[in-house]
DNA sequence: TGACATTAATAGCATTACTATCATTTATAA
DNA sequence: TTATAAATGATAGTAATGCTATTAATGTCA
């Protein structure tokens, strides 16, 4: 992969497009580092500004609040994952293999060098695991949803659902299975890292565990 | 059921036991109402105090912060669910029927009148669906976990896992399946309410949807 | 060069998340 | 009953957070 990647995130997410300026790109880059290090609850625009050597007010020109910033990062990830899935499925015809590939991608770190992105992939991955559900688990979800900002997630879900349906035409819950696969991928990774008693992880299969479980789950249901 | 129910929540969760005083019980009751109405992010001890006609300082005497209060409510729910499962499984011998009963309980509102509890069951249920994952999806999870406050969740998970294993002795991931069933029950209820495109819900099966999907998932995997 | 738009810097304010102090009420036990 | 401790209430205060407004500086292209 040797080209410039960029994803148009829904304009409703930001006040000023962070991809369109140096400062904007720095905000995203440093946010990923800082949210990873502090956790989303302790992350503030003030701390971000100090870290970057800029001011709070500058950050507020790009994002209404930190929730929107997180939504931007997660949207970006969803779009990126969507792209990667297309890319990786290109030469695969077998639907079982397609689904396996998707599950592998959802349960492993992002490929290191993809399209000259200098976001920290490891951090981004952990943020997705620990923080992504916080973008929709809010009181205002219905209001936020009206501006279509969750579209990338829905599209990703629909894409996986299409593979699920192609693999098993009779299966009645392709979309719910897909959203469950995505969410369970995150949860099982989080649990196996921090609350292993909620899983069947062993010291030996720590890195592969989520992938193994989700594969078993998906093909158990789909036959 | 005609008796007084009360669950000992781990002492590390609170500063003063809210079950042990009138004010304490009022704090929990009003918190459930207020968290439901405002969402956890907008909920503050100040607002709670005003609502109850007491002071912020009084609330702080019971809980270190609002995260601990949420953890108390969710722990209480886990313990209650654990109790209800025992109660409901009493006369069931068939493991398939046991698992069905558990899934039904996880995907439906709590029974209305149980043991003279005057917490709003509908609100408590919605809080569990929307807010419960926020108790562990925090940077300090490892630190918090040391004081065993997640034990009720782990015990609930282990209890379900035992039924799973009894139903299918060869199944390799009983605990992960159980935590997935719990989490997916919440997610699918949330999604079918607020982001239906992530599910296969129909206007007709709105109330039964999560139950149907999870049942299909569980028995699909377990045979 | 000058008009105009973008970005930065400063300041400020209301709310949040606590902590401390002291007076008052209520339960308890000598 | 009285003393004594424990729980609550009232008031205040501090530092951090979340956000807005205003002005200053910088670039840009007609």
Domains and CATH numbers, chain B: 11-222 (1.10.357.10)
Q: Which among A141, A142, A200 is the nearest to B176, CB-wise?
A: A200
Band (pLDDT 50/70/90 cuts) for residue A4 is: low
Contact between B216 and A221 using a beta-carbon 8 Å cutoff? yes
Rg value, chain A, Cα: 18
Confirm if A158 and B195 have CB atoms less than 8 A apart: no
pLDDT digits (tens, 9 = 90+) for A177-193: 999 999 999 999 999 99
Structure tokens, B99: 């698992």
Taking CA atoms, B4 is separated from A2, B99, B113, in Å, by: 68, 27, 11
pLDDT in the model for residue A10: 82
Q: In sequence order, what are the residues at sequence separation of 6 or more whose Cβ sits closer than 8 angstroms to the Cβ of residue A193?
A: none
DSSP 8-state assignment for residue B22: H
Structure tokens, A93: 């015809």
Contact between A177 and B150 using a beta-carbon 8 Å cutoff? no
Low-confidence ranges of chain B (pLDDT < 70): 1-5, 112-117
| CB contacts, 8 Å: B68 with chain A | none
For chain A, the farthest-separated pair of C-alpha atoms sits apart, in whole angstroms, at: 56
Band (pLDDT 50/70/90 cuts) for residue A115 is: low
Structure tokens, A197: 């008693």
| CB contacts, 8 Å: B103 with chain A | none
Q: Which among B41, B140, B213 is the nearest to A173, CB-wise?
A: B213
Report the candidate in B154, B145, B148, B209 with the shortest Cα–Cα distance to residue B176. Answer: B154
Q: Report, as an integer, the average pLDDT of A60-86.
A: 94
Q: Tokens 């625009």 sit at which residue?
A: A45
Contact between B154 and A190 using a beta-carbon 8 Å cutoff? no
**Angstrom distance (rounded) from CA A199 to CA B161:** 10
Count CB atoms within 10 A of the CB of residue A114. Answer: 15
**Angstrom distance (rounded) from CA B115 to CA B6:** 8
**Angstrom distance (rounded) from CA A92 to CA A108:** 19
**Angstrom distance (rounded) from CA A205 to CA A200:** 10
Band (pLDDT 50/70/90 cuts) for residue A77 is: very high
Contact between A183 and B179 using a beta-carbon 8 Å cutoff? no
C1' (D15) to CA (B175) span, angstroms: 44
Query: What is the chain B residue with the closest CA to A179?
Result: B198
Q: What is the 3-state secondary structure (H, E, C) of chain A?
A: CCCCCCCCCCHHHCCCCHHHCHHHHHHHHHHHHHHHHHCCCCCCHHHHHHHHCCCHHHHHHHCCCHHHHHHHHHHHHHHHHHHHHHHHHCCCCCHHHHHHHHHHHHCCCCCCCCCCCCCCHHHHHHHHHHHHHHHCCCCCHHHHHHCCCCHHHHHHHHHHHHHHHHHCCCCCCHHHHHHHHHHHHHHHHHHHHHCHHHCCCCCCCCCCHHHHHHHHHHHHHHC
pLDDT in the model for residue A5: 67
Rg value, chain B, Cα: 18
**Angstrom distance (rounded) from CA A122 to CA B189:** 31
pLDDT digits (tens, 9 = 90+) for A86-112: 999 999 999 999 999 999 999 999 886
- Bases in strand C with any atom closer than 7 Å to a protein CB: 6-12, 15-21
* Higher-scoring residue by pLDDT: A1, A167: A167
* b (16+ CB within 10 A) / e for B107-118: beebeeeeeebe
| CB contacts, 8 Å: A139 with chain B | 38-39, 41-42, 130
């Amino acid at each position: 992969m040797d080209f410039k990647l960029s994803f148009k995130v829904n304009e409703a997410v930001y006040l000023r497009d962070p991809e369109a300026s140096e400062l904007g790109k720095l905000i995203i880059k440093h946010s990923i580092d800082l949210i990873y290090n502090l956790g989303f609850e302790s992350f503030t625009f003030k701390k971000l500004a100090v870290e970057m050597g800029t001011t709070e007010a500058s950050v507020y020109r790009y994002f209404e609040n930190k929730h929107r910033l997180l939504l931007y990062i997660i949207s970006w990830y969803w779009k990126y994952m969507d792209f990667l899935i297309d890319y990786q499925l290109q030469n695969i015809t077998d639907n079982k293999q397609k689904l396996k590939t998707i599950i592998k991608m959802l349960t492993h770190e992002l490929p290191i060098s993809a399209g000259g992105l200098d976001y920290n992939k490891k951090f981004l991955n952990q943020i997705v695991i620990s923080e992504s559900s916080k973008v929709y688990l809010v009181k205002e979800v219905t209001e936020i949803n009206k501006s279509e900002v969750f579209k990338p997630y829905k599209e990703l879900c629909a894409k996986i659902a299409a593979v699920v349906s192609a693999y098993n035409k009779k299966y009645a819950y392709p979309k719910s299975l897909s959203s469950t696969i995505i969410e369970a991928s995150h949860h099982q990774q989080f649990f196996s890292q921090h609350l292993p008693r909620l899983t069947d992880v062993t010291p030996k299969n720590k890195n592969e565990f989520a992938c193994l479980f989700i594969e078993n789950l998906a093909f158990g249901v789909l036959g």
